[in-house]
Structure 1
């Protein structure tokens, strides 16, 4: 006697109930994150955008100002100098950090005794607070009793004013920023290096390719996705530099010149002079700058980033 098997398919109401339960669970898990983003990021960003078109001292009711704040920004030599300093900081610090981190990551990718210790040492600056880093390097750069000038004086070399000489002040802070960010970049690039298939190197050695040729023809192209990620995040971070620079300088008069950045202008206008509308306009310009540079990076990645399919 033949047996007839029957498959019970769920009805539309069952599917709808299951979908609804999954949705509620998804909302439960992502709810805190979405709430945090709305409260501390998206909401304040929208409020700042609205305030950029007003005159507001933080106490009285804001008054509509139209484009006055933006016009004042781009006719202000101080803001234009801040914009230039911020761009120079990004264009020097990010490539230097990535280049040095790539070299260190390649060295740390070798099989050497005690390599775990070396990796931990390079990562230590990442877990150190920028305030502490700034205080230590401020002492190292001190003109009178700093460690750098002590050694330079011991060998008869000039002892520069690292943080107050306009020609080298920005580069001095950039050097600290590079030192502080190298560890994070090393870890990310090292992870990219360890994902490269060793078969490529074996084939290259059979063909007689040198180590240098293997690096530029195999290693570098295959870690370009990692380098792209490091570059995007690094540029966003460098454009927002403030705490390190503020701690190292201390004297706000020095920030008006060669070390002033856009974020410092936001702090000064908003919290020192109570010009919240003007400060919000600077923050809005910084947002557009970051957005524009990020879009350009994503648009240009197709020309140099190679994804291993």
Structure 2
């Protein structure tokens, strides 16, 4: 019996070993390396010296960092609630018995498997001031077209719309899986009692879907704080609206890879990790309170 137990332990460790090794090499070790490099003046050619908290003191005094933080928080504030709300509505609609439901599910999921580069290029064409489809539609109604990606006042919101559109498919599939896990008998009992679709949605669907919504919220929140690709490909550094759309990750990229201030870039990455960690812990605490309530 003891021999079988030892063999089970051996096989268990052999199975999880590759994953643990991969996590250590590609995630855990680089994390501590990055933290150490944030305390150095690491440059382009790998030479560095230990400078303590100088990079963090520089961050505190850096107005561009605060601008990037503001843009990122604005991005999260709009993209997370609106994106999840739209995903829930679409998931509920696609969970009902409608004609061609499989086609619509595939249609909504397509952006989730589309390369961000392709998404950015298509939306850049749609937003184009001279010949973009969006402005052409507005002209049909006598409304003057906008410089969607070069106007500092609206460029960030234009990117947020694209990000919401791109995230709906992935969130919708997860929420749809959660919806299909809700027993039908609850809806049947509510229907017998005379409850309508709206009442069933708020009294049955939302409470039972809350764990799935929480998971989607956390994942969307983290990905929103890490926004980079759409801003990089749709806006660009030479765009007049760059300052008003630059996110923390873009600011990290600019310092670490374009200005070759890798130590300072590492400090930005550490600050971003701390922000995401704090807000994720807050979400976990709120979820526990809601469950206990």
Band the TM-score falls in, shorter-chain normalisation:
over 0.9
Q: Which of structure 1's runs of 4+ aligned residues deviate more than 6 A?
A: none
CA contact (8 A) 1:196 1:222 kept: yes
After superposition, the CA RMSD in angstroms is: 1.6
CA contact (8 A) 1:221 1:305 kept: no
Alignment partner of 1:168 is 2:154: yes
CA distance in 2, matches of 1:292, 1:96: 22
Question: Which residue of 91, 99, 122 corresponds with 2:85?
Answer: 99
Q: What is aligned with 1:281?
A: 267
More moved, 39-48 vs 220-229: 39-48
Give the direction of change, closer, same or farther, for the CA distance of 1:268–1:251 in structure 2 (3 Å limit). Answer: closer
Larger Cα-atom Rg: 1
Mapping 1:38-49, distance limit 5 Å: 38-49=24-35
Alignment partner of 1:222 is 2:236: no
More moved, 156-165 vs 279-288: 156-165
CA distance in 2, matches of 1:22, 1:130: 44
CA distance in 1, matches of 2:242, 2:176: 39
CA distance in 1, matches of 2:239, 2:135: 23
Q: What is aligned with 1:304?
A: 290
CA distance in 2, matches of 1:185, 1:205: 28
Instruction: For residue 74 of structure 1, report the CA deviation from its aligned partner.
Output: 1.7
- Give the structure-1-normalised TM-score: 0.91
Instruction: For residue 128 of structure 1, report the CA deviation from its aligned partner.
Output: 0.3
SS at structure 2 position matched to 1:223: helix
More moved, 274-283 vs 163-172: 163-172
Q: Any unmatched runs of 5+ in structure 1?
A: 1-9
CA distance in 2, matches of 1:251, 1:273: 13
CA distance in 2, matches of 1:105, 1:260: 32
Instruction: For residue 52 of structure 1, report the CA deviation from its aligned partner.
Output: 0.6
- Give the structure-2-normalised TM-score: 0.96
Give the direction of change, closer, same or farther, for the CA distance of 1:282–1:102 in structure 2 (3 Å limit). Answer: same
Mapping 1:59-74, distance limit 5 Å: 59-74=45-60
CA distance in 2, matches of 1:301, 1:129: 33
CA contact (8 A) 1:125 1:180 kept: yes
CA contact (8 A) 2:56 2:267 kept: yes
Question: Which residue of 270, 280, 284 corresponds with 1:294?
Answer: 280
Q: What is aligned with 2:127?
A: 141
CA distance in 1, matches of 2:51, 2:241: 28
Mapping 1:12-27, distance limit 5 Å: 15=2, 17-27=3-13
Question: Which residue of 91, 95, 112 corresponds with 1:126?
Answer: 112
CA distance in 2, matches of 1:189, 1:95: 15
Instruction: For residue 31 of structure 1, report the CA deviation from its aligned partner.
Output: 2.0
Q: Deviations over 1:247-266 (max 9, x none)?
A: 11134454641101110111
Instruction: For residue 195 of structure 1, report the CA deviation from its aligned partner.
Output: 1.2
Q: What is aligned with 1:197?
A: 183
Instruction: For residue 36 of structure 1, report the CA deviation from its aligned partner.
Output: 1.7
Give the direction of change, closer, same or farther, for the CA distance of 1:96–1:213 in structure 2 (3 Å limit). Answer: same
The alignment of Structure 1 onto Structure 2 pairs a total of residues equal to 293
CA distance in 1, matches of 2:33, 2:44: 13
Question: Which residue of 239, 245, 256 corresponds with 2:225?
Answer: 239
